[in-house]
Chains A and B, each alone.
Chain A
Amino acid sequence: MTTIRRFCCNDLLRFASVNLDHLTETFNMSFYMTYLARWPDYFHVAEGPGNNIMGYIMGKVEGQGESWHGHVTAVTVASEYRRQQLAKKLMRLLEDISDKMEKAYFVDLFVRASNMPAIKMYEKLGYVIYRRVLRYYSGEEDGLDMRKALSRDVDKKSIIPLKRPITPDELEYD
């Protein structure tokens, strides 16, 4: 039961039940609003009956040339609405927008190397581990840069895994 629509500021006042979750970060206002101001098509919310917020996805599109790609910054689902493939639905939306509207080459995301449930989920959705980013999370935990090629990357060049890990300062984009 999912009405998916663009996220708007008022949703920030209604997403507490999603964001109180331990693994969901509540960013500062300028972070959310910069995403809304720059990439409104990459910020969607799923609503259930009674206008309950079920979850949301935020992301952006950036890069140059063959690095032009969609990026998933956060995707989260309230505990009440888990195990219904909602995250998959939200990810598909972002991939579709990146593929069809933005003509991007791939979609990428970062995930904690220890977050096995999330890594497994992304693998099921077709993402591969492209590279490891050493101490990406607060200088402590490694991050995995996972990618999925889109139709424009015919030869799937963008997802050929790198052989060596990189450090955060080697990242092309934050």
Chain B
Amino acid sequence: MSARFGLAGGIPERRVRPIWDAVDSRQYKAALKLATGLLAKYPSSPYALALKALILERMGKPEEALSICLEAKDLLFSDNALHIDDLTLSTLQIVFHRLDRLDLATSCYEHACVKYPNDKEIMIGLFNCYVREYSFVKQQQIAIKLYKLFGEERFLLWAICSIQLQVLCSGSGQKLLQLAEALIKKHMASHSLHEQEALVIYLSILEQQEKYDAAVDVLSGELGSLIGIEEDKLRIQGRLLARAFNYTAAAEIFQKVLESCPDDWETFLHYLGCLLEDDIDWPKANSNREICTPQLCIPCFDDNKASKAAHLSEDVFESRISNACTLVQKLQMDCSDFVRCPYLGNIEIERRRRLCGANHDDKFVEALLTYFHGFGHFSCFASDVKVFLDFLTQDEKDKLLDEFMRTLDSSSVSPIKALGQAMSVFRFQECLGVIFTLPLRVLKDNVKRMLEMYCKNLALSRDLDPQEGMHGEDLLSMASNILAVLFWRTRKLEYLLEAIMVLEYGLTIRRYTWQYKIPLLHLYSHLGAIPLAYEWYCTLEVKNILLETISHHILPQMLNSPFWAETGDLLKEYLKFMDDHLKESADLTCVAYRHRNYSKVIEFVQFKQRLEHSNQLLMRRLDASILQLKQKAHSLEEVERIFENLNNGSKLLDMSAEDKLKSLTFNEDFYSRPWWSPTPSVNHLSEKFEEGFTCLNENLVCFNSREHLFFVEDVYMKKQLYICNCNAKHLCNYYASKS
């Protein structure tokens, strides 16, 4: 804070401090009075003007603030004798930023830099201006200038980041990467590198150019010690080796990681992929995730890719698999009760065997059974093994289920474990999709058993805090899922009402369980009870970034409802969140630069782009205009004013222009949606069972693969874009007919 009070424009600190104190405590009227007094004493001080402008802006008087800022700017530009200090510039910058006039702030700094070509602080200020404007080329130029003048490593890295941003975000040529590499190499020759983040950026520059061997050499040398966590270093090393097709060395490295982190599933998959020389599906060198966090991706579960291991001779394949088995057994011996990876690893090994045509069918099922015996009582059992179920024959699925049931009957474990195992079996059935094929009578029995089990085991949670999740909690969600199936198959409304009652009952026992609230709000929505759905949605307290990922649970229904005021609030909150983030994101990028976390710089810029291109953001901007028109439909004047603000409708068309639609991103989290409405535009309960089942069956196949999300996104996007274009055209036609 002391930086605020330097001797700006020759004004002593004692005169300035009370003004800032008043601003900080939001006493703007008092602040304005003091600032006006200061200005009377120093009428030609740009700093005094900037302070007054800052206060006026905070008071909600943007025009006055801008006018005073421009006056200050004119003074800076016209009076050559006037000393320009960083404090004045940064205060002006704050106001210009809030007024959305970054260009004016930049021009002040540019002018100051010409006047004082070697002033480090002012040059850094100009660099930050370019960061805020996302002017990557200019960022690079000023960073290089700073580096040449002051020789500091951080300035070189600022330039390198600016180059990477040009390549990653502006599609500039790869030649720039060569320049970046040459710059770092030259610096390293005389000064070496001193920070982990600097090394990470250097490695990513090499990796983007596919110079994997060079990157491995760097990492294996002295510089490798800059990576603070040894396993992180090994993971990067393994990835680089795998990318360079040096699978043997990569597998050895991944094995080392597993020996110290035996529960690292991702690394296990990489280890196996390298051991079997699979074509591992690495993320692209320019993907956000990789640049920001030097780490690995999960190899694809796709049959074709996995089966490429068939290029190994049978003997070699078996010997490698045997190595993997030995490692897995060793890890199992060394591990505690909670370490699941080596056991799931066994299942994966058997899956690979099966893909390569090896005849070890029993072993696959046995591995799954062993996993159930060890971890069947964990809530995550079903989701852990879900991905493997596609590789089982129907007989094997039946056999597994029988075995699970037998285990339940003969199990002598504690009541909590027994409950956990029973729930896993129900979830397993859900994953297999048997709830769509079992006879109605069996389904009803299952619901009954689940509810009885829930009630019987309530006592197990007696000592838990009411805010904590309780044992057997999921039984009610699963029961409501089956009741929804029963409704779908019979069209008897009572099943839906029972589903609602089950969830409402659960919420009286545990009022914070979101896993009940979400299906409940969808059931209410389906029945047209939007106020109840909205009420439950509100209890989820969705805010900030969750607005982007979770608000799809309620917004589409609300937009079609007559509850315009509440819908308006939802839209306003979402749009404000996005606008605020898009506005402040660059400031946080400046923080990352300042704290030398260069990988985060790249990440922040890419993330801002991702949110900026959000499909939902585009849709909600359109929806907000349409909602306004609905709300003001009684007044032609108001409707016309809304259209004027929309550039007579062309603003909406611009928003849905083809080039913008191409880069749309889809950030909604659909995984918490009920099975019968996997996306906002799909509702199986509205369809007849036979028709919907065919469609759901197709989807279920996708659901079990990693393609699921893309499938959903694709369908969703097409529908949304269609609606979006229709809306825009509709608005234009409407306006044309009015005028």
Contact = CB atoms under 8 A, between A and B. Distances in A.
A144 to B, nearest CB: 15
Given A1-B265, A16-B549, A26-B544, A6 B338 contact: no
A123 interface: no
A38 B597 contact: yes
A17 interface: yes
Contacts of B577: 29
A20 B672 contact: yes
A26 B473 contact: no
Given A10-B288, A33-B604, A37-B597, A22 B293 contact: no
A34 B667 CA distance: 22
Contacts of B540: 20
B546 A51 contact: no
B600 A36 contact: yes
Most chain B C-beta atoms within 10 Å of own C-beta, residue among A4, A34, A51, A97:
A4
Interface stretch (A41-49, A68-76, A148-156): A41-49
A79 B474 CA distance: 10
B344 A84 contact: no
Contacts of A36: 592, 597, 600, 603-604
Contacts of B588: 30, 33-34, 37
Interface string B234-256: 00000000000000000000000
Most chain A C-beta atoms within 10 Å of own C-beta, residue among B544, B604, B610, B671:
B544
B544 A29 contact: yes
Contacts of B229: 97
B597 A40 contact: yes
A85 B337 CA distance: 10
Contacts of A173: none
A22 B514 contact: yes
A80 B544 CA distance: 23
Interface residues of A, number: 51
Interface string A1-28: 1111110111011101101111100111
Interface string B380-391: 100110110000
A8 B544 contact: no
A101 B585 CA distance: 29
Interface stretch (B7-15, B460-468, B720-728): B460-468
A49 B228 contact: no
Contact of B545 (A13, A20, A50): A13
Given A1-B263, A1-B341, A50 B546 contact: no
A101 B386 CA distance: 39
B378 A116 contact: no
A49 B384 contact: yes
A52 B382 CA distance: 13
Nearest to B264: A3
Contacts of A13: 545, 548-549, 667, 669
A49 B344 CA distance: 9
A3 to B, nearest CB: 4
Given A3-B264, A22-B514, A84 B378 contact: yes
Contacts of B340: 1
A19 B546 contact: yes
Interface of A: 1-6, 8-10, 12-14, 16-17, 19-23, 26-30, 32-34, 36-38, 40-41, 47-52, 54, 79-85, 97, 101, 115-117
19 contacts: A2-B265, A4-B261, A9-B607, A10-B607, A13-B545, A16-B546, A16-B669, A29-B585, A37-B588, A37-B591, A37-B597, A37-B600, A40-B599, A49-B387, A50-B386, A50-B387, A79-B469, A81-B380, A85-B338
List 4 tightest A-B contacts by C-beta distance, closest first: A22-B512, A9-B607, A37-B592, A3-B266
